[in-house]
Amino acid sequence: MAMANGLYKVKCNGRYHLMRVSIEGGRKVYKIDQGLNEPIEKLQEMEGYIELICQVNERSISNDDIRQPRITISWQDHEQREFRMTVRDVWALRNILLEYPFLKDPFQYKPRKR
């Protein structure tokens, strides 16, 4: 599969994701969302599992193109109960980590030093 370096929209398991194709250490690699880089050859094994939608021109994306942004953090306690918090900006996420200090270490939150 010959793919140019860049960002692509893909669909996997009924959900949309971003896939980045790039060169690392002289080899062409890809990664989906914030995952690990994988050799591009491995992408052929995923045919039928990943649907390529289109390549994205990152320079042409404007704030108007992004609708309803949100970040959801979730975790389970020791009794396997699931907790979720959804925020719409990074300040709200920061405030959650400050208000619930027990989340700092698992999420590796380190405040900036001034």
Neighbours of 107 (CB within 10 A): 12
Burial class, 48, CB count within 10 angstroms (exposed 0-12 / middle 13-18 / buried 19+): exposed
Query: What is the model's pLDDT at position 85?
Result: 95
pLDDT score recorded for residue 1: 53
- How far apart CA 108 and CA 10 sit, in angstroms, is 29
Report the pLDDT value the prediction gives residue 11, as an integer from 0 to 100.
94
Residues (pLDDT < 70) of the chain are: 1
- Pair 51, 14 in one domain: yes
| Host domain of residue 29 | 6-58
Tell me the torsion sign for CA atoms 13, 41, 32, 59: negative
Write out the two tokens for 37: 């880089």
- Torsion from C-alpha of 102, 87, 110, 103, nearest 10 degrees: 10
In the DSSP assignment, the letter for residue 98 is: H
Establish if 26 belongs to a structural domain: yes
- Indicate yes or no: pTM above 0.75: no
Assigned token pair, 110? 């380190």
- Tell me if 1 is assigned to some domain: no
12 and 43 inside one domain: yes
- pLDDT for position 62: 82
Total domains present in the chain:
2
CA torsion sign for 62, 67, 68, 74 is negative
User: Is position 114 within any domain?
Assistant: no
**pLDDT at position 2:** 74
pLDDT of residue 43: 87
Specify the pLDDT at position 66. Answer: 84
